[in-house]
Structure formats: structure tokens, C-alpha cells
Amino acid sequence: MPPSSVKVGRVGWQIAVPWPATQAARVALLALVYLAAARLSLSLAIPPGYATPVWPPSGLAVAAVLLLGKRIWPGIWAGAFAANLSVEASIFSAVVIACGNTIEALVAGALAGRWVAGGGRFRRTEHVFGFFAIAALSACIAATLALVGAGRRPGAASLRANAGLPCEQAAAVGRARRPSARPVGGSRAGVC
């Protein structure tokens, strides 16, 4: 029977959809759900709106990799890219961060699938703690890749260059992260 035909099943009418179409639908749905979760998380953002205390889309991405397989990665990337563009980041920053988020989910999913939840279930307490350890370590991947990939040092200059923040806001965020930091115009004049 050709993939586009209609057949009657025991439950009712069923339409046989070719596999690439269902995969594309899954990827698009994941991208939309990732973007929605990101927008919800960004509503909890610390002013000026670029850092959030929690980021559920990463957990969503890991769950998608565990349940749907690694071929779902374009949905993670597209959702992360759209989320980062929505916070007025540069296109380069959005691409780098989206790549970091995607690699983070793929690594966490691969490690969890291999060493923790082989059959998709957490059968022992050690599995749960192992999953927490994998999640914590893989969370560093996106942040490190975004920082290293941008080729910038952390701090006010990085925020200004990557997020497009005005100098005053970037300096304020940098001082909030490191209260003992020197003023931007101090011994490093011209950083901002």
C-alpha cells in the first residue's frame, strides 16, 4: 500500500504518512515547544532579561533525544536559535548558543541512554543520581561553547559584544556578577 493511501483500521480511519513527513512534523513541533518553553523561562529572567535562573528547554531537549532519538536535533537547534534571536542577540551569538544547546542535549541523551537509562527506565537509585550528574555536567557544554565560540572573555565586554547591550547595562551586569570588579573606565579604558 503506498504511503499516501487511506486505510480503515480497527479504531477508525487511518492515514499512512511517509516517515520523512512525520519526522519533519516532530522536528517542527519540538522547535515550537522549545521556543515556547524558552519564552516562558525568559519571563523569569534577571534584568536586563538575558539570564534566567532556570532553563527548562534544556531538559525538554534531553527528553526529546532520549525518547525520539538523536535525529531530532534540528528541532532543538531551530528552537534554541529562535529563542536567542528573540532576546535581541546577534545572529552569530544565536548560532553559537543554539549549537551549544544542541550538543548539550545530544551528549546528555547519549550518556544517559548508554550508562543510566538503558531501557528508558530508572530502575535503581544510582540511575537517578547518575542522571543528575550527567545533566549537571552536560549543562556546562552550552555555556562553555558559547563563551569559547564567541572568542571573548567573560564580563562586560562579552555581554556588550555578544548580546548587543549598551555599555552601561553591560558594565552593570558585569559588576553584579563580580561585585569587586573595577569600573569599566578604570585601568582598562576602551573595553566598552
The tens digit of pLDDT for each residue in 88-105 reads 667 888 888 899 999 999
* 174 in Cβ contact with 155 (< 8 Å): yes
Q: What is the pTM of this model?
A: 0.67
Q: How high is the mean pLDDT of the chain?
A: 74
**How much is the pLDDT for 6?**
46
**How much is the pLDDT for 177?**
47
DSSP track, 10-73? SSSEEE---HHHHHHHHHHHHHHHHHHHHHHHHTTPBTTTTB-S--HHHHHHHHHHHHH-GGGH
